[in-house]
């Protein structure tokens, strides 16, 4: 009975924190800790310090990239690609947003490109809902495939001491599974989106709306574009510094013998990522005209600090509660997951929706799963399931897509759950998880 009361405390903190939004999710972890430690006299768990330091380093580098203008260069290149292939925008757009996320480590890069995606679609008489919803989902799916995302580096850190049939999971080993499975999931989203909804010329509601001249002008409006703008050379330099650093990190992950030795072993990729992300930010500041004061003011930094706080509070609270009951739970829950491996992925999806963060979901679920004896191979194979906040249309990128779609085709339905993002999300994540299991099996992790 005591266990269920403590579980209820955690769930209430999660629900209320998610409802309040922002850093509230992490701060509510303090309420949970007070109740668990002072009320139930439980031994405090260990905060995920390694994970938090990685988040800090990655966010600092990505926010510096945005402040330097390097992100604008990436967006300009992305727009050029989409305008060359306007008929295929429903497939091209989610790949573009996914790749931007993979390069930058955050799905928040989608905000700047959404008006361009809408413009390409509406000017070519393509239902904007098709590429807009797919692009929002594709951007978030790219997080688990990014070498510099908080979710990936956190998962690597948590699995760094785990062995899989006598071998350890290296940084590139995880990406070798998550990158192809994610891209196949994004392809499935694009193929689904190509045919979804009515064509604009057959949509009675849309045609009635644009029959009013003012509405027609509002829907088709002015062209949103970054093309034709000459970006300063230091914008390009910042982009190449960032991409070059990411390439070096990937190279060191592939060739561990090139890393410095500590106690006769190469230093872990957890430390390598931290070092080189800080280096990337420093080099951008040194060699470009970036104002350091602007770094902490942009969206990437803000969202990153929210993720950091969420991981801190949620993971510490969950570690404290489940760590105290690990002996009782290990046998029962471990056996359930062994019989029904998909149960782990389902739990991860639901927790992701509660916390609205892939990194926070992984930080909350993975340590508990490992302590309960869940096969770590299942954790690797089901990594794409950490994205579940498409279930309800409350995530900022989804809301932004709705606002940028002036045609009204990207929408929230009468029953809330019937919105534009749920089916692309389900199609993409389920497909990615299926192929995640395929690739994990190919590489011998399950």
pLDDT at 105: 77
Quick: pLDDT tens for 338-348: 677 788 898 88
pLDDT at 337: 67
**Per-residue confidence band for 16, with pLDDT thresholds at 50, 70 and 90:** confident
Given a cut of 70, whether residue 402 has pLDDT beyond it is yes
Most confident range, picked from 7-16, 161-170, 314-323, 382-391? 382-391
Given a cut of 90, whether residue 285 has pLDDT beyond it is yes
**Per-residue confidence band for 54, with pLDDT thresholds at 50, 70 and 90:** confident
pLDDT at 375: 85
pLDDT at 151: 87
**Per-residue confidence band for 334, with pLDDT thresholds at 50, 70 and 90:** low
Distances from the Cα of 433 to the Cαs of 183, 227, 328, 429, in angstroms? 11, 37, 30, 6
**Percent of the chain scoring above 70 in pLDDT:** 93
Given a cut of 90, whether residue 183 has pLDDT beyond it is yes
Q: Which residue has the higher pLDDT, 303 or 276?
A: 276
Given a cut of 60, whether residue 329 has pLDDT beyond it is no
């Amino acid at each position: 009975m005591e266990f269920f009361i403590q579980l209820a405390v955690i769930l209430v903190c999660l629900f209320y924190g998610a409802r309040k939004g922002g850093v509230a999710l992490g701060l509510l972890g303090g309420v949970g800790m007070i109740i668990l430690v002072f009320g139930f006299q439980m031994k405090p768990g260990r905060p995920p310090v390694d994970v938090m330091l990685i988040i800090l380093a990655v966010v600092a580098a990505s926010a510096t990239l945005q402040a330097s203008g390097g992100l604008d260069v990436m967006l300009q290149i992305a727009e050029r690609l989409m305008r060359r292939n306007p008929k295929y925008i429903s497939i091209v757009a989610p790949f573009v947003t996914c790749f931007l996320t993979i390069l930058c480590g955050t799905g928040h890069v989608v905000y700047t490109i959404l008006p361009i995606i809408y413009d390409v679609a509406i000017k070519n008489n393509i239902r904007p809902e098709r590429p807009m919803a797919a692009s929002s989902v594709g951007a978030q799916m790219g997080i688990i495939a990014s070498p510099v995302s908080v979710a990936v580096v956190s998962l690597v850190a948590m699995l760094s001491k785990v062995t899989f049939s006598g071998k350890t999971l290296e940084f590139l080993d995880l990406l070798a599974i998550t990158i192809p499975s994610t891209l196949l999931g994004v392809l499935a989203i694009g193929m689904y989106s190509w045919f979804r909804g009515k064509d604009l010329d057959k949509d009675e509601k849309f045609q009635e709306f644009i029959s009013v001249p003012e509405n027609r002008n509002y829907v088709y409006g002015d062209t949103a574009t970054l093309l034709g703008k000459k970006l300063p050379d230091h914008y390009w330099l910042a982009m190449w510094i960032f991409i070059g650093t990411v390439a070096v990190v990937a190279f060191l992950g592939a060739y561990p013998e090139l890393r410095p030795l500590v106690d006769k072993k190469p230093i872990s990729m957890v430390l390598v990522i931290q070092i080189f992300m800080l280096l990337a930010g420093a080099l951008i500041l040194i060699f470009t005209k970036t104002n350091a004061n602007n770094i902490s003011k942009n969206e990437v930094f803000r969202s990153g600090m929210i993720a950091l706080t969420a991981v801190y509070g949620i993971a510490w609270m969950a570690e404290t509660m489940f760590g105290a009951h690990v002996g009782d739970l290990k046998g029962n829950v471990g056996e359930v997951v062994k019989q029904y491996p998909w149960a782990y992925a389902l739990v991860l999806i639901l927790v992701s929706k509660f916390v609205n963060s892939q990194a926070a979901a992984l930080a909350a679920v993975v340590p508990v799963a490992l302590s309960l004896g869940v096969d770590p191979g299942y954790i690797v194979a089901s990594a794409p399931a950490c994205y579940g906040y498409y279930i309800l249309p409350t995530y900022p990128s989804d809301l932004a897509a709705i606002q940028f779609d002036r045609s009204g085709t990207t929408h929230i339905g009468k029953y809330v759950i019937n919105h534009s993002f749920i089916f692309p999300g389900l199609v993409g994540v389920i497909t990615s998880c299926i192929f995640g299991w395929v690739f994990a099996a190919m590489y011998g992790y399950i």
